[in-house]
Amino acid sequence: MKKLLITGASGFLGWHLCQLAKQEWEIYGTYFSHALEIPAIKMLKVNLTDFQELKCIFNEIEPAAVIHTAAQSQPNFCQTHPEESHAINVTASCNIAGLCADNSIPCAFTSTDLVFDGLNAPYRETDPVCPVNIYGEQKVKAEIGMLERYPLTAVCRMPLMYGIATPTAKSFIQPFIQTLKAEKELNLFIDEFRTPVSGTTAAKGLLLALEKVNGRIHLGGKERISRYDFGRLLVEVFKLPATGLKSCQQQDVKMAAPRPADVSLDSSKAFALGYPLLSVKEELEKLAVISSSDN
C-alpha cells in the first residue's frame, strides 16, 4: 500500500479522513497537542511549524501523497493571536507545498469558505476572494503561497462541517444536541448561511481532489442553509425537544472575529467529479442511525 501523510489527524476532519483513507492507503497521521491512537494508523507527534522537523518526517516516511488538514481554525483565536496562527496556517502550509513539489507527490490542502466576504454568494472557484477576518486572510495567503510553490496542489475550500464526535474533537452539533436535550436555550443565527457537509463527505471530497484536482475546488454541500434552519432539521431528525431553539442575528452576538453573512459555495465542479450529493437532512439521518447504534 502507498503511504499517505495526513497532517492534523487528531482534528475533526483529520480523524474522519483517517477512517476513510486507511482502506486504500498506509496512513501516517500527525498531531501536536492532542495525542491519540487511531487503529491501523501510525501516529506521529510533529511540530509542523519547525521546518527541520517537517523535512525529517518527509525524509523518514517518504509519503506518496500528503493531505494537509492541520490548522488553527478558530477564527476568534486567529483574530487575537495573529502571529501564532500565521505560523501554522501560512508558513507551515507553504513549506509542506514546497516539500511536496521537491518530491513530485500529490498534495491536497484544506482552505475555507471564509476566504469570501459573504456579499455575493454562492461562490465559484474563480470568484475574487475578500476575507473579513484574520483566519480568512491567512487561508488566502496559504492558498496563494502553496500554489506559487507547487501549482499542482489541490486547494480544497471546505464548508462548515459536522458529524460524530471523535476521541479528541467535537463538531458544532454535539453542544447543540446537549443544549436542546437539557431544554436550555439555543440561539442560532437566521442571517448566517453556509453549505455544510458531514466530516465523512468532506473526507471523500479530499481523497477525490487528491486524485483529480490541481488548483482550487469547492467542497461544499448541495444546499444553502442558515444555522437556525440547520437546528430545526437537527430537532426533527434526532427527535429533540424544540422548546429551547431560538432565532437570533449575527449582530446580537459579540465575537472577536467578524463573520461573513453568506459564504455558500457553488461546488458543481466537485459534483461533476463524483463528490457525493447529499442533502443536510440525508446526512443527519445517517448520523442519527450511527448515534443510536452507539448508545
Q: What is the pLDDT of residue 34?
A: 82
**Burial classification of residue 176, based on how many CB atoms lie within 10 Å of its CB (0-12 exposed, 13-18 middle, 19 or more buried):** buried
Given a contact cutoff of 8 angstroms between Cβ atoms, the answer to whether 222 and 273 are in contact is no
Q: Nearest-5° angle of CA 36, CA 206, CA 163?
A: 55
Count Cα atoms within 13 angstroms, Cβ side, for 222: 13
Fold of the 164-195+223-264+278-290 domain: UDP-galactose 4-epimerase; domain 1 (3.90.25)
Question: Which of 156, 173, 175 has its CA nearest to residue 164?
Answer: 173
Joined grid coordinates for residue 151 = 501549482
Domain ranges for the chain: 3-161+198-218, 164-195+223-264+278-290
As a three-state string, the secondary structure of the chain is CCEEEEECCCCHHHHHHHHHHCCCCEEEEEECCCCCCCCCCEEEECCCCCHHHHHHHHHHHCCCEEEECCCCCCHHHHHHCHHHHHHHHHHHHHHHHHHHHHHCCCEEEEEEHHHCCCCCCCECCCCCCCCCCHHHHHHHHHHHHHHHHCCCCEEEEECCEECCCCCCCCCCHHHHHHHHHCCCCEEEECCCEECCEEHHHHHHHHHHHHHHCCEEEECCCCCCEEHHHHHHHHHHHHCCCCCCEEEECHHHCCCCCCCCCECCECCHHHHHHCCCCCCHHHHHHHHHHHHHHHC
Considering only the C-alpha atoms of the chain, give the largest distance between any 2 of them, rounded to a whole number of Å: 57
Fold of the 3-161+198-218 domain: Rossmann fold (3.40.50)
- Cα-Cα-Cα-Cα dihedral sign, residues 219, 268, 263, 218: positive
Encode pLDDT of 162-175 as tens digits.
999 999 899 999 99
Q: How far apart are the first and last CA of the chain?
A: 35
Tell me whether the CATH fold assigned to 3-161+198-218 matches the one assigned to 164-195+223-264+278-290.
no
Given a contact cutoff of 8 angstroms between Cβ atoms, the answer to whether 153 and 210 are in contact is no
Joined grid coordinates for residue 4 = 499517505
Provide, rounded to the nearest whole percent, the portion of the chain with pLDDT above 90.
93
pLDDT: is 254 or 160 the higher one? 160
CA distance 285 to 94: 38
Q: What is the pLDDT of residue 295?
A: 60
Q: What is the mean pLDDT of residues 175-194?
A: 96
CA distance 85 to 135: 8
Residue 294 has pLDDT above 80, yes or no: no
Encode pLDDT of 201-228 as tens digits.
999 999 999 999 999 999 999 999 999 9
| Chain mean pLDDT for the chain | 96
pTM for this structure? 0.96
**Burial classification of residue 167, based on how many CB atoms lie within 10 Å of its CB (0-12 exposed, 13-18 middle, 19 or more buried):** exposed
Encode pLDDT of 31-64 as tens digits.
998 888 988 999 999 999 999 999 999 999 999 9
Q: What is the mean pLDDT of residues 265-276?
A: 98
Q: What is the pLDDT of residue 286?
A: 95
